[in-house]
């Protein structure tokens, strides 16, 4: 069962990588338009989460305010991570963006030292230093291959790193403080609350006359990305019952980076340079060590 879950997750990663890049070329330019994007994408992801939440309640599940509040924080972080990622893809390479977003796991690892009584080894701290070197190599390679690359791209990648890390931190925070929390409620809050807030902001912008019609070509990618994100989140959680965390991380995130490298080279003509290859290898290696 664990092999099946991981296979489906990697298939969804293919969808995620390809359509994330496609969406970045059609991404709205105004704040109101971007809120509309967040409202639609999170709204779609919240629907299956709602179904699972209702099923869990029928089966005797519980609901509590703490789960909802942590879900709210997770949703805000996830929405910000999505915005940073989409904007970074407009001027940076796919591989650089994926490595930075995946590296978000460093945030809960460091937080674990101070808040969850999970000390890191010397080797893990060294791995973080190696990741910084990998990031510099990837940034340098991206600058050489994309004329639009700027310091803004770097800041967006750092934002993607921090907000993805905050999302993972919320997941850790929930299970650490409330081991019996209703995961379905947490998932629903993570997607539904940002969708509602973004809808309100978008509606206010419309009332003030700030209008931007989304390109019709973006709706299919939004749908596929929303479904892929939900499936990945659900199956990754379920797979922990069958596969160790170290193996699961190696296959899901290492596979994600490899898939991104292949797709970016084939479909988006991003050249694999010596710097990007070295950065990729160091990045994957350092993240695997951190997770051990």
Exposed, middle or buried, 4 (CB in 10 Å: 0-12/13-18/19+)? exposed
Residue 241: per-residue pLDDT: 63
Residue 188: per-residue pLDDT: 92
pLDDT tens digit string along 139-154? 777 666 666 777 888 8
Residue 207: per-residue pLDDT: 76
What is the rounded distance in angstroms from the CA atom of residue 231 to the CA atom of residue 61? 21
Confidence at 250, pLDDT banded by 50, 70, 90: low
**Mean pLDDT value across the chain:** 82
In terms of Cα–Cα distance, which of 274, 228, 264 is closest to 94?
A: 264
pLDDT tens digit string along 231-241? 887 787 667 66
pTM: 0.82
Question: What 8-state DSSP symbol labels residue 215?
Answer: P
Residue 134 tokens read as 């990998």
Residue 98: per-residue pLDDT: 80
pLDDT tens digit string along 257-268? 778 878 887 887
8 Å CB contact between 16 and 232: yes
Helix (H, G, I), strand (E, B) or coil at 150: coil
8 Å CB contact between 283 and 261: no
What is the rounded distance in angstroms from the CA atom of residue 132 to the CA atom of residue 66? 35
Alpha-carbon Rg for the chain in angstroms = 19
Residue 247: per-residue pLDDT: 61
Exposed, middle or buried, 55 (CB in 10 Å: 0-12/13-18/19+)? exposed
pLDDT at 291 over 70: no
Residue 81: per-residue pLDDT: 92
What is the rounded distance in angstroms from the CA atom of residue 182 to the CA atom of residue 36? 29
In terms of Cα–Cα distance, which of 28, 49, 38, 44 is closest to 186?
A: 49
| DSSP track, 67-86 | HHHHHHHHHHHHHHHHHHHH
Mean pLDDT (whole number) for 203-227: 83
Q: Which residue has the tokens 């596979």?
A: 255
What is the rounded distance in angstroms from the CA atom of residue 202 to the CA atom of residue 41? 14
What is the rounded distance in angstroms from the CA atom of residue 81 to the CA atom of residue 167? 9
Residue 232 CB contacts under 8 Å (≥ 6 apart), including other chains: 9, 12, 13, 16
8 Å CB contact between 270 and 116: no
């Amino acid at each position: 069962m664990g092999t099946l879950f991981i296979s489906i997750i990697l298939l969804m990663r293919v969808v995620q990588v390809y359509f994330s890049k496609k969406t970045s070329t059609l991404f709205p330019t105004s704040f109101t338009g971007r809120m509309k994007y967040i409202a639609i994408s999170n709204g779609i992801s919240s629907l299956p989460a709602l179904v699972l939440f209702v099923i869990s309640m029928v089966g005797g599940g519980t609901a509590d305010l703490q789960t909802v509040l942590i879900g709210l924080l997770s949703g805000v972080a996830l929405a910000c991570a999505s915005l940073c990622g989409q904007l970074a893809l407009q001027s940076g390479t796919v591989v650089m963006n994926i490595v930075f977003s995946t590296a978000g796991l460093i945030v809960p690892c460091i937080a674990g030292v101070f808040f969850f009584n999970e000390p890191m080894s010397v080797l893990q701290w060294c791995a973080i230093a190696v990741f910084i070197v990998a990031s510099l190599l990837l940034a340098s390679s991206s600058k050489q291959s994309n004329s639009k690359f700027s310091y803004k791209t770097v800041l967006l990648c750092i934002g993607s790193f921090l907000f993805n890390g905050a999302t993972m931190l919320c997941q850790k925070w929930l299970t650490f403080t409330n081991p019996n929390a209703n995961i379905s409620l947490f998932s629903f809050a993570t997607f539904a609350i940002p969708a509602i807030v973004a809808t309100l902001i978008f509606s206010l912008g419309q009332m003030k006359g700030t209008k931007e019609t989304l390109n019709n070509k973006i709706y299919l990618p939004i749908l596929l990305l929303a479904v892929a994100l939900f499936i990945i989140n659900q199956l990754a959680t379920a797979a922990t019952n069958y596969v160790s965390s170290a193996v699961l991380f190696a296959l899901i995130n290492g596979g994600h980076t490899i898939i991104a490298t292949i797709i970016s080279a084939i479909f988006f003509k991003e050249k694999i340079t010596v710097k990007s290859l070295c950065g990729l290898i160091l990045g994957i290696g350092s993240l695997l060590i951190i997770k051990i």
